[in-house]
Chains A and B, each alone.
Chain A
């Protein structure tokens, strides 16, 4: 079942639904902070924040959105060539006492989120941490689950999930390819998210 799994309109609908679910779960947007995990979690966090602001006009999308780089918290640094460190920017109010929603594109082994939880812990003490992902492809290696999921995609371990976003790749799509052939494999950049340790 390889090929394009989600198109632009599917992604848009999923994000709108997740935005409403976040609001419903937290009884509004008070105290809510969205932190995107670079690279592709970041534009997703901005899109979710914009949708939340559509529903709750008092929500300042730009001020409540941030970026959380997890490179220095990874448990597989010694297994890859040296990675460049991304930017972490938090809302000026900090995250103490807030509800932090982590946003990422693909939820796979759970190791990225494990690292993100450690990074959050070093930035402050939020009241709660929730997880929103566009795609859950299974194969968890840690006892971590997502609170909000755009789409569950059953995959084989060898398959690869490529998330393309307009902000980073020029188009919106989620593509499943079998790991061995290069068919349907998008251009450079997208491949970096496909490591087996995702």
Chain B
């Protein structure tokens, strides 16, 4: 593994290796001294062309816990606002000796462009590119599901000796909402499929991408229908991304109230999930739109835990990409 660009590139073995490494990273985070010397002397650049709170902070925390030096670069207030191209920005970072670049960009494919160019030598970690991919989010979601459901007391993961070394075979995962604009959904679909889980998309027809037939998913147009048809082990509520919708969302569904009525997760719908099922959300949440406070704050919600798992997963990704010999594997 030289870069982490898309979950579609990950083999089952790669994915399990990242999740197992994340477990060991998470274990170190319970200690009094949480900092490890592993990436001392390496430089990680956070290159963010798009606003982000948790992903940037999470990558920064992960890199710092591994003793790497972190340089934060956000497009606002930089030469990018003066018209500098991605290429020139990359050449600058190369000249400064970046060992890894964590890139968040509004254009789909920006991370791939950076990785396949000869502009810089370091590893590229995609932290979200347009509506394409956000692999570390999918990995932290898979990590959270594996931790809660594989080796659990009930559900399809019961009877397995524990999460370590295992995939997600037997689980059924519902992704609810705006799949069309969601890189989180795309990343999750391919990773979950690789790990052996069944993926059910629950989405209005207007928010399902064209060509969905080729994806390894089943599609349902209504949350009530999905709860009736499937025993969902995990339900992931996607954010309604109104900033990506022309017309602020009104061109995709008639009104926010109608969206909530058909696709929102409230306490009543949550109670119709199997007892072991977990409720997830990649954040930031639109409370009252795709998820109610009752569901978001319930004991079955693992939304806050997803954030702390994100640090462990990103530590694992940075370790696996940066710790070995250069050009190794």
Q: State the A residues within 8 Å of B (CB).
A: 69, 72-73, 77-88, 118, 121-124
Tell me how far the C-beta of B30 lies from the nearest C-beta in chain A, rounded to whole angstroms: 10
10 cross-chain pairs, A with B, having the tightest CB-CB distances, nearest first: A82-B324, A72-B38, A85-B24, A81-B328, A122-B33, A77-B323, A72-B36, A81-B324, A81-B329, A82-B320
The distance in angstroms between the C-alpha atoms of A86 and B20, with both chains bound, is: 9
With CB as the reference atom, state the residue of chain B lying closest to A76.
B325
Q: What are 28 A-to-B residue pairs whose CB atoms are below 8 Å?
A: A69-B24, A72-B28, A72-B38, A72-B66, A72-B319, A73-B37, A77-B38, A77-B323, A77-B324, A78-B326, A80-B324, A80-B325, A80-B328, A81-B325, A81-B328, A81-B329, A82-B320, A82-B324, A82-B328, A84-B20, A85-B319, A86-B24, A87-B27, A88-B28, A118-B37, A122-B33, A123-B32, A124-B32
A84 cross-chain contacts in B, Cβ below 8 A:
17, 20-21
Interface contacts beyond A73-B36, A122-B36: sample of 12 additional A-B pairs, CB < 8 Å, sorted by A: A72-B37, A72-B38, A72-B66, A73-B37, A78-B326, A81-B328, A81-B329, A84-B21, A85-B25, A88-B24, A88-B28, A123-B33
Contact B323 A123 (CB under 8 A): no
A122 cross-chain contacts in B, Cβ below 8 A:
31, 33, 35-36
With CB as the reference atom, state the residue of chain B lying closest to A86.
B24
Contact status of A78 and B37, CB under 8 A, knowing A85-B24, A122-B31: no
With CB as the reference atom, state the residue of chain A lying closest to B67.
A72
The distance in angstroms between the C-alpha atoms of A190 and B25, with both chains bound, is: 26
A81 cross-chain contacts in B, Cβ below 8 A:
324-325, 328-329
Contact status of A79 and B33, CB under 8 A, knowing A84-B20, A84-B21: no
The distance in angstroms between the C-alpha atoms of A85 and B22, with both chains bound, is: 9
Q: How many A-B residue pairs have CB under 8 A?
A: 57
With CB as the reference atom, state the residue of chain A lying closest to B27.
A88
Q: Say what secondary structure dominates the interface of chain B.
A: loop
With CB as the reference atom, state the residue of chain B lying closest to A72.
B38
B35 cross-chain contacts in A, Cβ below 8 A:
122
Chain B residues numbered 35-88 whose CB sits less than 8 Å from any CB in chain A: 35-38, 66
With CB as the reference atom, state the residue of chain B lying closest to A85.
B24
Contact B31 A123 (CB under 8 A): yes
Tell me how far the C-beta of A117 lies from the nearest C-beta in chain B, rounded to whole angstroms: 12
Tell me how far the C-beta of B120 lies from the nearest C-beta in chain A, rounded to whole angstroms: 18
The distance in angstroms between the C-alpha atoms of A87 and B24, with both chains bound, is: 6
Contact A82 B38 (CB under 8 A): no
The distance in angstroms between the C-alpha atoms of A118 and B37, with both chains bound, is: 9
The distance in angstroms between the C-alpha atoms of A77 and B318, with both chains bound, is: 13
Beta-carbon contacts of B278-300 to A below 8 Å, as 1s and 0s? Answer: 00000000000000000000000
A82 cross-chain contacts in B, Cβ below 8 A:
319-320, 323-324, 328-329
Tell me how far the C-beta of B91 lies from the nearest C-beta in chain A, rounded to whole angstroms: 24
B24 cross-chain contacts in A, Cβ below 8 A:
69, 85-88
The distance in angstroms between the C-alpha atoms of A82 and B24, with both chains bound, is: 15
The distance in angstroms between the C-alpha atoms of A144 and B323, with both chains bound, is: 26
B28 cross-chain contacts in A, Cβ below 8 A:
72, 88
The distance in angstroms between the C-alpha atoms of A81 and B66, with both chains bound, is: 18
The distance in angstroms between the C-alpha atoms of A27 and B36, with both chains bound, is: 34
Tell me how far the C-beta of A59 lies from the nearest C-beta in chain B, rounded to whole angstroms: 26
B37 cross-chain contacts in A, Cβ below 8 A:
72-73, 118
B32 cross-chain contacts in A, Cβ below 8 A:
123-124
The distance in angstroms between the C-alpha atoms of A77 and B328, with both chains bound, is: 11
Contact B325 A85 (CB under 8 A): no
Beta-carbon contacts of B128-167 to A below 8 Å, as 1s and 0s? Answer: 0000000000000000000000000000000000000000
The distance in angstroms between the C-alpha atoms of A83 and B324, with both chains bound, is: 7
Contact B324 A85 (CB under 8 A): no
With CB as the reference atom, state the residue of chain B lying closest to A122.
B33
Contact A78 B324 (CB under 8 A): yes
Beta-carbon contacts of B3-33 to A below 8 Å, as 1s and 0s? Answer: 0000000000000010011001101100111
With CB as the reference atom, state the residue of chain B lying closest to A69.
B24
B31 cross-chain contacts in A, Cβ below 8 A:
122-123
With CB as the reference atom, state the residue of chain A lying closest to B324.
A82
With CB as the reference atom, state the residue of chain B lying closest to A78.
B325
With CB as the reference atom, state the residue of chain B lying closest to A124.
B32
A88 cross-chain contacts in B, Cβ below 8 A:
24, 27-28
A85 cross-chain contacts in B, Cβ below 8 A:
21, 24-25, 319
The distance in angstroms between the C-alpha atoms of A121 and B33, with both chains bound, is: 9
A124 cross-chain contacts in B, Cβ below 8 A:
32
A123 cross-chain contacts in B, Cβ below 8 A:
31-33
Tell me how far the C-beta of A111 lies from the nearest C-beta in chain B, rounded to whole angstroms: 14
